[in-house]
Amino acid sequence: MSTIYDFSIKDREGKDVSLADYKGKVLLVVNTATECGFTPTYADLQKLYEELADKGLEIIDLPCNQFGEQAPGSADEIHTFCTGRFGVTFPQFEKIEVNGENESELYTWLKSQRGFAGFDPNHRITPKLVEILSAADPDWEKSSDIKWNFTKFLIDREGNVVERFEPTADVETVVKPAVEKLL
């Protein structure tokens, strides 16, 4: 069985970064977007990073423009937006695709480890997501595909996927306790 350490991603300059460089860390891998209803999640992720980075948390930010083209711009433009608007200090990488023909091998593996976890039925954006996804594919809930921006995968210190959090999962009340268990 493989681990996340078998994969590489590209940094904002297009250079390969081996995820083995993060061995021993707890990772939160997130596909992000700068013009999405979930974009304020950047602030929640930054707060989590500030609180837990010194205990071994690393956040891997992978911008993705596949959902409503909500991550326009270059990797540097996205980085400038995130640092200026949300004070982001966690690493941001090159834009990737998380579904389909050109999806990143990392995401093929992540999705094989943890399928769709379901949206929080009480989240205000859930009805809109269900409407959009149902119009595109009546069987959308059955696939392990990433459904929207800010889907998060939690990786333990050994490189294994522990949990998948959909964009509607609250960072403070749902994601943070799961991260803390691994730290």
Backbone φ and ψ for 9, nearest 5 degrees, come out as: -130, 170
Picking from 114, 62, 66, the residue whose alpha carbon sits closest to that of residue 90 is 62
**Is-catalytic flag, 82?**
no
Rounded (10°) CA dihedral 102, 106, 108, 114: -150
Q: Give the separation between CA 115 and CA 55, rounded to whole angstroms.
A: 28
Comparing C-alpha atoms, which of 61, 31, 51, 38 is closest to residue 172? 51
The first and second tokens of residue 113, run together, are 């480890």
Which residue, among 131, 170, 75, 99, has the nearest Cα to 83 in the 3D structure?
A: 75
The two structure tokens encoding residue 110: 């992540």
**Residue in 28, 33, 36, 133 annotated catalytic:** 36
Q: What are the residue numbers of the active site? A: 36
